Chain A
Amino acid sequence: MTGPGIVAYVVLSVFLFSIGAVGVLVRRSPLIVLLALEIMLNAGNLALIAFSRHWGNGDGQIFALAVMVVAAAEAVVGLGLIVAMSRRRVALDVDKLTTLRG
């Protein structure tokens, strides 16, 4: 295999995951939270594909494709919720959505 080894890809994927996690944890706009979630999912995908290449086994790629599908579905529902919220004039701020308070 030419280029950097699998470890490099895994490390890259972990950093990307952490960036996404910070986005989810810190940003208040649900839109950005969704975008950051996509980053986290893609970080997972990168690791999956790297390992798939490492073992020479296609199953990891299948898994990554399934993750993509789930991410697409999640984006549809998430965006639908955001649009519905904005139509009902609910503030687009995850800190203000505290109905689940115990």
Chain B
Amino acid sequence: MQPVLATLAGEIIVWVVWVAAGVVLLASGLAVILFSNPFFSALSLILNLGSLAILYLLISSEFVAAAQILVYAGAVMVMFLFVIGYLGGRADAPWAGTHRVGKVAAVIAAIAIAVEVVVAVGIDAGGQLSSSAQITEAFGSPRQIGELFLSDHLLAFEVTSIILFIGAIGGAVLGSSARRRDRAAAATDEQEQAAA
């Protein structure tokens, strides 16, 4: 094939992948908030995260894409599914119980934010965003991320590890104290029942 044709073919493929991923992204996002059963919501979110990873790949951020799949879809979402399973996956009426005004206001506010940002980007930054910087092969590679993490952003790296650690402790404490109080509460319940 001619080089021009090859480039054109590449461009077309990228566009197709981008459109597909974008559509899946928005659709699965909507699905997350529209499903009444949290189980389906969570599954949609996995889809959402997956399509995000594809988008990351399209802009040469391979490492983040991999981390996205591993950390989110692999770990966090499993945790979500686990909790949902533990709670029984009850469906709630997603749109009930809220004032109609509140719902409408929420949707209006969200749309307003979206439109405003688009307008802002269009009139303010559009010119600057038209041509992107040239990058090398190394951009977004694990090597580059690792070097950045362990040189310029070492503090951030350490702080995030501490945050994770604190989160782990917090989860453990929440779980254990809840169990102890459960037992105490159950004991008082039994006593009350016995007294009655």
Contacts and interface: CB of A to CB of B under 8 A. Distances in A.
A62 B83 CA distance: 29
B174 A14 contact: no
Given A22-B110, A76-B168, A6 B32 contact: no
A20 to B, nearest CB: 7
B59 to A, nearest CB: 4
Contacts of B106: 21-22, 25-26
B140 to A, nearest CB: 6
A23 to B, nearest CB: 3
Interface string A46-62: 10011011111111011
A6 to B, nearest CB: 5
B32 to A, nearest CB: 5
B165 to A, nearest CB: 9
Nearest to B63: A61
Interface string A62-102: 10111011111111110111111011100011010000000
Q: Interface size class for chain B?
A: 35 or more
B64 A66 contact: no
Interface string A18-48: 1111110111110110111011001001100
Interface residues of A, number: 74
Contact of B170 (A26, A27, A53, A76): A76
Which 8 A-B pairs give the minimum distances between C-beta atoms? A73-B167, A56-B133, A23-B33, A25-B106, A3-B14, A80-B174, A84-B178, A53-B59
25 contacts: A3-B18, A4-B18, A6-B129, A8-B18, A12-B55, A16-B29, A19-B30, A21-B110, A22-B106, A23-B33, A31-B80, A35-B32, A49-B61, A53-B59, A53-B60, A56-B132, A58-B144, A62-B145, A64-B64, A65-B149, A73-B164, A77-B174, A80-B175, A83-B83, A93-B92
Given A4-B18, A42-B52, A73-B163, 16 more contacts: A5-B130, A5-B132, A7-B122, A21-B110, A25-B106, A31-B80, A32-B41, A61-B64, A70-B160, A70-B163, A73-B164, A75-B79, A75-B80, A76-B167, A84-B175, A92-B92
